[in-house]
Amino acid sequence: MARARTIDARVPITHVMAFHEYNVDLAAIVAADLGLPFHDVETVRSVRDKHRMRQLLDAADSPRWAVATDEESLRRAVVSTGLPCIVKPRDGSGSDGVGLLGSLHDAGRLSHPLLVEQLLRGREVSVEAFSEGGVHKVVGVTAKHQFAGSLVEEGHMFPLLLDPVDHEAVGEVVRRTLSTLGVSSGPSHTEVFLTGSEPVVVETHLRAGGDRIPEMVQDVTGTSLVDLWIRQCLGERILDEVPEVSPGTDHHPTYSATWYRGANATAILAGVGDLRSVVAQHRAAGLDVRSLELRVSVGDVVRVPTRSGDRLLVGRACAASPDAAREAARALVAAVPVELVTSELAPSVTSHGSRTAASEEPSV
């Protein structure tokens, strides 16, 4: 804060922006101190702190939950959540430290405090929305796919055109969540379970989705959410330009999918084929490939993904149907030759690896 004041005294700071969630709390404090528009400090806290968020949301919009500070309180928590349940850190991201607790026999290995939640069942989706002046517009719903037996995202597909009744219910719960948490501007990314009765919120974020979701929205709508975000931060009113992709919209000529590849075992990445030639081959075969990227470096230790940062490769492709888009992106990353050397030198890690925010992209 002192540094921000020093800079402000020399060259007046006129706008505050933060595009990564790790900086949003700091940006909110600086903005409040300098009297500039930004999210309220309290709103940022309510969104970042999953316990606080659960306290504020309507009970109907959350799973049953409790906080455990030790083994004894964990035993009490599972009485209300049931088993299996989900355990997670209060302020985690990238699925780091989020796990399924199947039995209290495993309780001793957990580090506290923990948020303990009822295991939601059903289909999980994510929702991009944009707010201005406290009005929330739903951009669209994204299908989310996880690696088998894991909570880490393997892929995404936009737009997911839900049944219109479900789409409306999802939009309602997202708008209610954003209003309850005091979100008045900017993009948000909310994870929601379609539980069969009412949609239930996993969490929300004061940013656009990670995992190339803004690029997928742009593939489909032609609009950059990030450009709108910057313009809004600079004081423009942009809500009218925010696209809305809903099941009622006439037709969606393009669907966009992002797909990740992970390692099957802990190993050292010894080599990777030429990504440009993989892209060229797929384009020559008629696929609408948008991007293909390596997310780690040759020489790195790679492992079965237990957090977003563990994933090796990501590809994005568009097609005329949801399945064709998913298949194109999946085939793209699968086609990359990867040489993995399983070695005793490659240390094995547990699912609760250390958190290294700096090396990770914004998580979904």
Contacting residues toward ligand ATP, per CB under 6 A: 63, 86, 88, 92-96, 98, 117-120, 124, 151, 191, 202-203, 308, 363-364
**Min. distance of Cβ 119 from ligand ATP in angstroms?**
5
| CA–CA separation, 212 and 195 (whole Å) | 26
The partner in contact with residue 306, picked from Mg ion, ligand ATP, none with C-beta cut-offs of 5 to 8 angstroms by kind, is none
| CA–CA separation, 7 and 1 (whole Å) | 10
Residues 195-214, one symbol each (x = binds Mg ion by CB under 5 A, - = not), give --------x-----------
**Min. distance of Cβ 115 from Mg ion in angstroms?**
12
The partner in contact with residue 117, picked from ligand ATP, Mg ion, none with C-beta cut-offs of 5 to 8 angstroms by kind, is ligand ATP
- Residue 216 sits at φ, ψ, to 5 deg, of -65, -40
Q: Count other C-beta atoms under 10 Å from residue 340's C-beta.
A: 18
The partner in contact with residue 170, picked from ligand ATP, Mg ion, none with C-beta cut-offs of 5 to 8 angstroms by kind, is none
| CA–CA separation, 197 and 193 (whole Å) | 10
End-to-end CA distance of the chain: 29
Q: Which two tokens stand for residue 309?
A: 């940062």
| 125 versus 317: smaller Cβ distance to ligand ATP | 125
| 94 versus 262: smaller Cβ distance to Mg ion | 94
Nearest to 157 by CA among 364, 351, 317, 334: 317
Site for Mg ion in 157-196 (CB under 5 A): 191
| 128 versus 191: smaller Cβ distance to Mg ion | 191
Task: Tell me how far CA of residue 204 lies from CA of 34, 37, 44, 121, 187, in angstroms.
Answer: 27, 21, 11, 18, 11
| 92 versus 353: smaller Cβ distance to Mg ion | 92
The partner in contact with residue 113, picked from Mg ion, ligand ATP, none with C-beta cut-offs of 5 to 8 angstroms by kind, is none
- Residue 188 sits at φ, ψ, to 5 deg, of -140, 160
Q: How many residues bind Mg ion (CB under 5 A)?
A: 2
| 195 versus 291: smaller Cβ distance to ligand ATP | 195
Q: Which two tokens stand for residue 260?
A: 């990740």
The partner in contact with residue 151, picked from ligand ATP, Mg ion, none with C-beta cut-offs of 5 to 8 angstroms by kind, is ligand ATP
| CA–CA separation, 81 and 94 (whole Å) | 23
The partner in contact with residue 219, picked from Mg ion, ligand ATP, none with C-beta cut-offs of 5 to 8 angstroms by kind, is none
| 92 versus 182: smaller Cβ distance to ligand ATP | 92
> Do the beta carbons of residue 67 and residue 115 sit within 8 Å?
yes
Radius of gyration of the chain (CA): 21
| CA–CA separation, 141 and 220 (whole Å) | 12
**Min. distance of Cβ 275 from Mg ion in angstroms?**
28
The partner in contact with residue 185, picked from ligand ATP, Mg ion, none with C-beta cut-offs of 5 to 8 angstroms by kind, is none
List residues binding Mg ion (CB under 5 A).
191, 203
